[in-house]
Structure 1
Amino acid sequence: MNPRNRDLLVLTKKEKLNQQELEQEIALLNDLFFRVESSEAYFIANEVIDVNRYKLITKLHKVKQILKEQNHKPFVFISNKN
């Protein structure tokens, strides 16, 4: 796994962590971020609102198709489901 260069603030209940515990926490966080930041997770977490056709598009393959288009149409919005 090739972790990205990012700033992390790790809060723990312990007052101090030794180097091995800190590296383990960072490795677990990087693994979690790698899974969450994938494009599949992005397509699942978003939906497309097409005001032109008055449609809400939630099907994964259609959301993926619309978001990968080069020429985006006006009044087509990406909305996060959260």
Structure 2
Amino acid sequence: MKTGNRDLIVLMKYDSVSEAAMEHEITLLNNLLYSVESIHSFCIANEVIDVNKYKIIKKPHLIQQAIRDKSHKPFVFVCNKN
């Protein structure tokens, strides 16, 4: 598993938490975030709005193609579905 450097703020309910327990919580959070932060999850949560063609692209494989496209066209937006 690839663990990258990231800044995490971890709020604990109790002040007297051992260092090992804190490291365990951080490891679990990194594992959770690693599994969620994938291109597939990103494509499911977003859509591409192409104003030039008057289209909204919702299929994950087409969103992935639009993101990886090297020619950045004007008025093509990646929007979150929330």
What does residue 75 of structure 1 align with? 75
Counterparts in 2 of 1:57-68, with a 5 A limit? 57-68=57-68
Name the Cα RMSD after superposition. 1.2
Q: Secondary structure at the match of 2:56?
A: strand
Return the TM-score normalized by structure 2. Answer: 0.89
How many Å apart are 1:74 and its aligned residue? 1.4
Return the TM-score normalized by structure 1. Answer: 0.89
Alignment size in residue pairs: 82
8 Å CA contact 2:48, 2:76 repeated in 1 = yes
Unaligned runs of 5+ in 1: none
Q: Secondary structure at the match of 2:79?
A: strand
What does residue 20 of structure 2 align with? 20
Unaligned runs of 5+ in 2: none
Q: Secondary structure at the match of 1:23?
A: helix
Q: Secondary structure at the match of 2:64?
A: helix
Percent identity, aligned pairs only? 51
Q: Secondary structure at the match of 2:77?
A: strand
| Cα deviation digits, residues 26-78 of structure 1 (max 9, x gap) | 00110111112212111111100011111111011111111111102211111
How many Å apart are 1:2 and its aligned residue? 3.4
